[in-house]
């Protein structure tokens, strides 16, 4: 069916995975491993961040190497607001999303005038500027980051409870994935995917390509900001590591392994990478050699990622 293929089978699989994830906290309690609920929250948050990058790289075809800037901006926004007394999630999380969106509009408006390697480098440069700026600010904790003394207040829900926080994160991720699936098949989604395929032709068909790319880039940045807000809550800290270029690299590796341009690619990649890390880091500190081999194998033999192997990819020619 070409580029925009979708199947009901894929949706059914998604529902089963969702049910399994809902049951996870009870399962962990049953086997007395409640520590893993908090770990699972971290995995889902990284999945959200990777998904937001997949919107930009996989659907929009813009290879951004500066996504950490928006991820970190969301985290710092929540921590700074909490310091000045704003602890409501209803205020802080949309604010984090909004700040990241504005930052993404600014970075995108300049970066999207370049192409290819230049785009990769200019987005990296912007992200590193943000990183060094934040690290140099003593009021925001410098190298140590800015602690978040308590998790955001979310109505009557107590986010201090790891299971409750996990469910909130899961609900947000599920909603974003549902949105992404809708977007992928909407007029807008088809336009950005066609721009990825042939930018010049789209311009020659009358599409203001730059505007479409900027909207897509900013939407990805905004979602990364939301993921950052959740990450600050999960870790109890807005860490400069979230802004570092390695973070951008990790998110990129996640979507390459998971599936560039597939709705679930970010989730598959994040789960695989973090679960492997958790499992193998105990055995050997050199587990990343294995990761390197996996990445190599995916790039060589499964360019649509793990999701692509299961027919969830963007293209099944």
Any contact of residue 32 with another protein (CB under 8 A)?
Answer: no
Separation of alpha carbons 169 and 149, rounded Å: 19
Nearer to another protein, 186 or 284 (CB): 186
Q: Which two tokens stand for residue 13?
A: 């699989």
Any contact of residue 105 with another protein (CB under 8 A)?
Answer: no
Write down the least CB distance from residue 274 to another protein, Å: 30
Nearer to another protein, 51 or 234 (CB): 51
Of 73, 143, 57, give the one whose Cα is nearest residue 106: 73
User: What residues from 163 to 192 belong to the interface with another protein (CB under 8 A)?
Assistant: 182-183, 185-191
Write down the least CB distance from residue 53 to another protein, Å: 18
Taking CA 199 as the corner, what is the angle to CA 198 and CA 205, rounded to the nearest 5 degrees?
A: 95
Residue 174 to residues 15, 101, 169, 180, 207, Cα–Cα distance (Å): 10, 21, 9, 10, 31
Nearer to another protein, 155 or 206 (CB): 206
Write down the least CB distance from residue 208 to another protein, Å: 5
| CB 68, CB 128: distance < 8 Å | no
Q: How many residues does the chain have?
A: 317
Write down the least CB distance from residue 301 to another protein, Å: 20
Distance of alpha carbon 166 from the chain centroid: 16
Q: Which two tokens stand for residue 124?
A: 């990296």
User: What residues from 200 to 219 belong to the interface with another protein (CB under 8 A)?
Assistant: 200-209, 212, 215
Here's the x/- map for another protein, 51-90, by CB under 8 A: it reads as: ----------------------------------------
Q: Is 13 helix (H, G, I), strand (E, B) or coil?
A: helix
Write down the least CB distance from residue 102 to another protein, Å: 19
Cβ count within 10 A of residue 11:
11
Site residues for another protein per CB under 8 A: 1-4, 182-183, 185-191, 194, 197-198, 200-209, 212, 215, 315, 317
């Amino acid at each position: 069916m070409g580029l925009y293929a979708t199947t009901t089978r894929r949706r059914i699989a998604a529902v089963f995975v969702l049910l399994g994830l809902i049951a996870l906290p009870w399962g962990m309690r049953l086997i007395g491993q409640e520590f893993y609920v908090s770990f699972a929250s971290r995995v889902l948050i990284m999945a959200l961040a990777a998904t937001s990058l997949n919107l930009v790289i996989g659907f929009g075809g813009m290879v951004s190497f500066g996504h950490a800037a928006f991820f970190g901006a969301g985290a710092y926004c929540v921590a700074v607001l909490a310091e000045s007394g704003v602890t409501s999630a209803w205020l802080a999380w949309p604010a984090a999303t909004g700040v990241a969106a504005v930052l993404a509009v600014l970075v995108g408006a300049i970066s999207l005038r370049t192409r290819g390697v230049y785009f990769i480098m200019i987005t990296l440069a912007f992200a590193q500027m943000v990183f060094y700026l934040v690290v140099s600010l003593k009021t925001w904790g410098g190298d140590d980051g800015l602690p978040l003394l308590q998790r955001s207040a979310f109505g009557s829900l107590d986010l201090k409870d790891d299971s409750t926080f996990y469910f909130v994160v899961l609900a947000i991720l599920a909603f974003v994935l549902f949105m992404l699936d809708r977007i992928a098949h909407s007029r807008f989604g088809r336009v950005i995917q066609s721009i990825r395929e042939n930018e010049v032709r789209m311009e020659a068909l009358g599409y203001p390509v730059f505007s479409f790319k900027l909207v897509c880039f900013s939407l990805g940045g905004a979602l990364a900001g939301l993921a950052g807000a959740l990450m600050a809550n999960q870790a109890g800290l807005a860490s400069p590591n979230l802004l570092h270029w390695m973070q951008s690299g990790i998110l990129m590796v996640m979507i390459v392994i998971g599936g560039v341009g597939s709705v679930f690619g970010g989730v598959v990649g994040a789960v695989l990478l973090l679960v492997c890390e958790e499992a193998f880091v105990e055995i050997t500190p050199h587990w990343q050699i294995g990761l390197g081999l996996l990445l190599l194998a995916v790039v060589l033999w499964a360019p649509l990622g793990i999701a692509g192997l299961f027919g969830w990819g963007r293209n099944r020619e």
